[in-house]
Structure 1
Amino acid sequence: MSLRRPRLRAASVLAVCLAALAPTTAGATADPSGDQALQRQLDEFVRRSGGPPGAIAVLRTEKGTRVVRAGVAEVGTDRRPSPDDHMRIASTAKAFSGAVALTLVDRRALHLHDTLGERLPQLPAAWESVTLRQLLNHTSGLPDYSRSDGFLDQLRADPLHHFDSQRLLDYVAGQPLLFKPGTQYRYSNSDNIAVALMAQAATHRPYEELLRDIVQEPLGLHSTSLPQGNRMPKPYLHGYDVSRPAAPEDVSEVIGMSGVWASGGIVSTPADMTRFIGNYAGGRLYGGPVVEQQRRWVEGGASEPAGPGRNSAGLALFRYETRCGVVLGHTGNTLGYTQLIAATPDGRRSLTFSVTAQITRSSDAEQLQRMRALQENFVCALLHGTNQ
């Protein structure tokens, strides 16, 4: 199959970036909570050279919902981003697999001390001591399948290749753990694949069914799905490769999602994501003892890309300590999209911040710093007038 160079590059970037500050500058204002100030900052971010073609933030508080948006949902049109536009949510999907697993822990179908050896004996014996807790807080030591030569070669050869999502860990089955479980933090896409496989093994039900019954239906996430292919449901935010001086290239449907599955394959909307994170970060899906375990933080553990402020890792959840207070959430990046979802610890206030380009430290460290600063201003707007 012949691919134009940008698409070939896109396939490589996706697989690599899936695995993988002083935010008081670059867009900060004296009153970052004001609607006009936030709008001005988001407009400026989109207009910058190399900026995303579109951006949208949805802020939900006790007083209602505010939407701030800039740019367009699709280059060549004047359609603005909408809270009901579909988008790839990237690694914020890990919060969904965390929600499934922790609900099963609450129901005593799983335990945080359950090991891969106990639940998934078909996996390599060298991995058998890894626990569910270590998978959820990225201290497992599992090698990242999305960085393996075999996975990358297959993706480059055919970006639409249909992977067997149940066997993604086979790409690293011959590799030992990177370190003794529980002794280091290292973000890995393999972790949440293993989480989903453990949930399936404990319930004898497909992960897609668990996701529907535990998360989507109870929270009313009617525009959220876990596709295997590359097609996006309409309407959707088009994602772009903005890495070259030429016009942005639409990469929304360049790559299939079977190769990321429970680690990053979900499609949702800003409206659904804002509702989800308020309930998830607020601990409303399971009881207090599980919430307490989830919020045992690994200092310095960051999501990918790092979220605003100082990052710490919990169980499929991150703590972002900003200059205005603390929010809990997750970030994600994939080809054409970068995401932040965050909420106050009580879940009463929540935020989704989405842009239609992939922004990471490796692709554009300066742009990432600007984005984190802007995200912090939106967090401050969310927290403005509260004691969180």
Structure 2
Amino acid sequence: MSRRPYGHFGRSRPSLRLAAATAVCGALLAVSVQPAQAGAGRNPPPGADLHQELRELVERPDGPPGVIAVLRDGDRTQTYRAGVADVENGRPPRATDHMRIASVAKAFTGAVALGLVDRGRLHLDDTVGEVLPGQPAAWHRVTLRQLLNHTSGLPDYSASPGFLEIVSADPRHRFDSRRLLDFVADEGLAFRPGSRYQYSNSDNIAVALMAEAATGRRYETLLRELVYEPLGMGATSLPQGYRLPTPFLHGYQIDPQEGPVDVSEAVGASGAWAAGGIVSTPKDLTAFIRGYAGGALISERTRRQQFTFIPGALSQPPGPGRTEAGLAIYRYTTRCGAVYGHTGNTAGYTQLAAATADGRRSLTFSITTQTSLTNNPDLLAQVRDVQEDFVCALLHK
């Protein structure tokens, strides 16, 4: 198959309304079907084959213009990439490029909340009613634990007609992030708390609000103090607007006939906030997932609670292998072993960050288009196969 001739495409203006349909709302769509385990019967490929697998992704007519994967084993880092970070100038993706990490941001919410649990500022059995008494009475019995493992039953604000109407009319609309739950404040719970798993972006908004209420500090400040600074992350932020820091990994919406449309800055971050608004780099994300999955930010006692898993509970999109949900972390059991982390997708980006339980070995895997079980599932299936091969390379199996 020949490489797509990116140099032949003229610059495309971002289609804001087009991107809005798949940005916050598309990234947050919950799907309850567990797909078959990816990669069954495959053998772990050598490094040259991993490069080829990435090239095959970008050569698909509907594939991403760029992909970058960073493997870290102790002090040894290997960076694999294919395609381009920007179709305008053709430069390759770099580990220091900024990018939207989408729902991987939910793991950051977990890091803040569990850090506060360790410090006695919050408890996993604290309820919404105790910490956020101004929230609807129907939600008051939901606990922090249930918010973190998506068993709360909170209705998803990002699927509400009112939210969708605003973001469709103006994808760069500046929301009051701390009032996002108002879009579903008149709704009851979808089910009895703790009785089932259902991925909801409202959960992470509520967690961030609980963290603020318990400390009297802004969530952005808590991220810096409890996550960025301890892990040496200098290029990660939670913006409110639509601009990305430079340099950045451009994200695209793909039309196989017309070519890629740049949607990197098509949608504002305020409507995702603690559920998916963080901007980071592959280098910083590597530092985060090593520390987070490896337990560097919390005590072993709290970590035992975090690593209590719900079988068959999907992250969005599904990651490699078989998925189980813990407290703001997922276990991905592949044919070569298990890694722990989170996935995400939003307009222009699909993400995976995962590491071994000791934090020594890690993988970040970023492609520059959106895919999910409902948005180009064929591409997602290939991405998951490739991710599993990278996990096998990471685990040396």
The TM tier, using the shorter chain, reads: over 0.9
Alignment counterpart, residue 236 of structure 1, candidates 225, 248, 259: 248
- Partner of 2:67, secondary structure, is strand
1:117-128 maps to which residues of 2 (within 5 A)? 117-128=129-140
Alignment counterpart, residue 38 of structure 2, candidates 9, 23, 31: 23
Tell me how far 1:194 sits from its aligned partner: 0.3
Which residue of structure 1 aligns with residue 235 of structure 2?
Answer: 223
1:359-370 maps to which residues of 2 (within 5 A)? 359-370=371-382
**d(CA) in 2 for partners of 1:185 and 1:108?**
27
1:147-166 maps to which residues of 2 (within 5 A)? 147-166=159-178
**d(CA) in 2 for partners of 1:243 and 1:295?**
40
**d(CA) in 2 for partners of 1:160 and 1:78?**
27
- Partner of 1:363, secondary structure, is coil
Which residue of structure 2 aligns with residue 375 of structure 1?
Answer: 387
**d(CA) in 1 for partners of 2:215 and 2:50?**
45
Q: Deviation above 4 Å: which 4+ runs of structure 1?
A: none
1:144-223 maps to which residues of 2 (within 5 A)? 144-223=156-235
Which residue of structure 1 aligns with residue 314 of structure 2?
Answer: 302
Tell me, yes or no, if the aligned pair for 1:29 and 1:37 is still in contact at 8 Å: no
**d(CA) in 2 for partners of 1:35 and 1:195?**
40
- Are 2:117 and 1:105 aligned? yes
Alignment counterpart, residue 345 of structure 1, candidates 339, 354, 357: 357
Unaligned stretches of 5+ in structure 2?
1-12, 30-35
Which residue of structure 2 aligns with residue 74 of structure 1?
Answer: 86
Which residue of structure 1 aligns with residue 8 of structure 2?
Answer: none
Tell me how far 1:5 sits from its aligned partner: 9.6
- Are 2:110 and 1:91 aligned? no
Which residue of structure 2 aligns with residue 14 of structure 1?
Answer: 23
CA-based RMSD of the aligned residues comes to 1.3
Q: What letter matches 1:160 in structure 2? A: R
Q: Are residues 311 and 243 of structure 1, via their aligned partners in 2, closer, same or farther at CA, if it must alter by over 3 Å?
A: farther
**d(CA) in 2 for partners of 1:231 and 1:257?**
9
**d(CA) in 1 for partners of 2:49 and 2:14?**
39
**d(CA) in 2 for partners of 1:22 and 1:290?**
30
Alignment counterpart, residue 57 of structure 1, candidates 62, 69, 76: 69
Q: Are residues 159 and 244 of structure 1, via their aligned partners in 2, closer, same or farther at CA, if it must alter by over 3 Å?
A: farther
**d(CA) in 2 for partners of 1:236 and 1:320?**
28
Unaligned stretches of 5+ in structure 1?
none
Residue by residue over 1:177-222, the C-alpha shift from the partner in whole angstroms, topping out at 9 and shown as x without a partner, is 0000000100000000000000000000000000000000111100
**d(CA) in 2 for partners of 1:6 and 1:312?**
36
**d(CA) in 1 for partners of 2:314 and 2:286?**
21
- Are 2:274 and 1:262 aligned? yes
TM-score (norm 2): 0.93
**d(CA) in 2 for partners of 1:244 and 1:170?**
39
Alignment counterpart, residue 42 of structure 1, candidates 54, 59, 69: 54
Tell me how far 1:62 sits from its aligned partner: 2.1
Tell me how far 1:63 sits from its aligned partner: 5.0
- Are 2:344 and 1:332 aligned? yes
**d(CA) in 2 for partners of 1:121 and 1:31?**
52
1:243-282 maps to which residues of 2 (within 5 A)? 243=255, 245-282=257-294
Tell me, yes or no, if the aligned pair for 1:31 and 1:37 is still in contact at 8 Å: no
Mean CA deviation greater in 325-334 or 69-78: 69-78
Tell me how far 1:23 sits from its aligned partner: 1.7
Q: What letter matches 1:367 in structure 2? A: L
Tell me how far 1:16 sits from its aligned partner: 2.4
Q: What letter matches 2:252 in structure 1? A: Y
- Partner of 2:378, secondary structure, is helix
Tell me, yes or no, if the aligned pair for 1:92 and 1:340 is still in contact at 8 Å: yes
**d(CA) in 2 for partners of 1:266 and 1:63?**
26
Q: What letter matches 2:218 in structure 1? A: P
Tell me, yes or no, if the aligned pair for 1:136 and 1:192 is still in contact at 8 Å: yes
Tell me, yes or no, if the aligned pair for 1:38 and 1:378 is still in contact at 8 Å: yes
Residue by residue over 1:21-48, the C-alpha shift from the partner in whole angstroms, topping out at 9 and shown as x without a partner, is 24226xx86442x210100111111111
Tell me how far 1:367 sits from its aligned partner: 1.0
**d(CA) in 2 for partners of 1:70 and 1:5?**
23
Tell me how far 1:9 sits from its aligned partner: 2.1
Tell me how far 1:244 sits from its aligned partner: 5.1
Q: What letter matches 2:20 in structure 1? A: A
Percent sequence identity is 58
Q: What letter matches 2:49 in structure 1? A: A
Q: What letter matches 1:272 in structure 2? A: D
